[in-house]
Amino acid sequence: MLETKGIPYKRTDLLPVISKAVLRGMRFPRNTVPAMKIDGRRVQGTGEIARELDRLQPEPPLLPTDPAQRSAVEEAELLGDQELQPAVRAILWWALRKDKEPLRSFSEGAKLGIPIGLALKTASPIVAASAHFNEATDENVRRSLAALPATLQRIDDWIAAGTIGGGQPNVADFQIAPSLRLAMTLDDLRPAIESRPAGELAKRLVPDYPGRVPPILPPAWLQPLRSETASTA
């Protein structure tokens, strides 16, 4: 979003879980990333950051001014934040708890301030805690996978309607595309996403995304996505 506005910035990446303590230590009101200090103020969360950036520098807008367009974008934003992202996180942490080896691939290019090897040594408790915080239970992952085809269809429909996926990305694009891109790091999920409009949008907005998880999910759990790939082929 900062790049869209042409605002220069310095980025720091934080390890999951450790991020909570760091943000508290920096006196941010909540414990989630993204979190930004701008002109001495602390602004946190994709949505709040977008609205603050629009206030500081209105052009190009991250939220449409037309009321009907704005409420459509806000509906898409909500789905990205409340449905898509939690589902993808639960699936990813479930997979990483089964096999930690792919974690190394996610650290590529991270600006952590400590060596990657050292960071990876702390991985076990972080993966366990993240799996817990993100409700990476068998039941939740199965439910998330079953709900994914409908979520992807809603995203494709918003792209067709021009709510997201336009030439000028808005806050809903920025809320949705990174989660789609994260989902595409899983070999199990990528085929169901990459060739549809949602996948094209994710690749366009987030061309480089580190991380790759080889197939690991039980095939029966992936059935809802398989039939989806077949019916859209």
Ligand X SMILES: N[C@@H](CCC(=O)N[C@@H](CS)C(=O)NCC(=O)O)C(=O)O
Distance spanning both ends of the chain, measured CA to CA: 34
Q: Which is nearer to ligand X, 132 or 204 (CB)?
A: 132
Kindly write down the DSSP assignment for every residue of 175-232, as one continuous string. Answer: HHHHHHHHHTTBTTTHHHHTTSHHHHHHHHH-S-----B-S-S-GGGGHHHHHHHHHH
32 contributes a contact to ligand X by CB under 6 A: yes
Sites for ligand X among residues 51-110 (CB under 6 A)? 81, 85
Min. distance of Cβ 31 from ligand X in angstroms?
Answer: 6
Q: Which is nearer to ligand X, 130 or 163 (CB)?
A: 130
170 contributes a contact to ligand X by CB under 6 A: no
197 contributes a contact to ligand X by CB under 6 A: no
Distance from C-alpha of 60 to C-alpha of 83, rounded to nearest angstrom? 27
17 contributes a contact to ligand X by CB under 6 A: yes
Of 1, 28, 36, 46, the residue at the interface with ligand X (CB under 6 A) is 46
> What is the size of the binding site for ligand X (CB under 6 A)?
16
Q: Which residue is it, tokens 């915080």?
A: 133
Min. distance of Cβ 169 from ligand X in angstroms?
Answer: 15
Distance from C-alpha of 130 to C-alpha of 124, rounded to nearest angstrom? 10
- Interface segment toward ligand X; rule CB under 6 A; list 41-49, 103-111, 136-144, 153-161: 41-49
CA dist 233 to 63, 113, 193, 200, 222, Å? 34, 45, 12, 15, 17
Q: Which residue is it, tokens 């089964």?
A: 98
Footprint on this chain of ligand X (rule: CB under 6 A)? 16-17, 19-20, 31-34, 45-47, 81, 85, 130, 133, 175
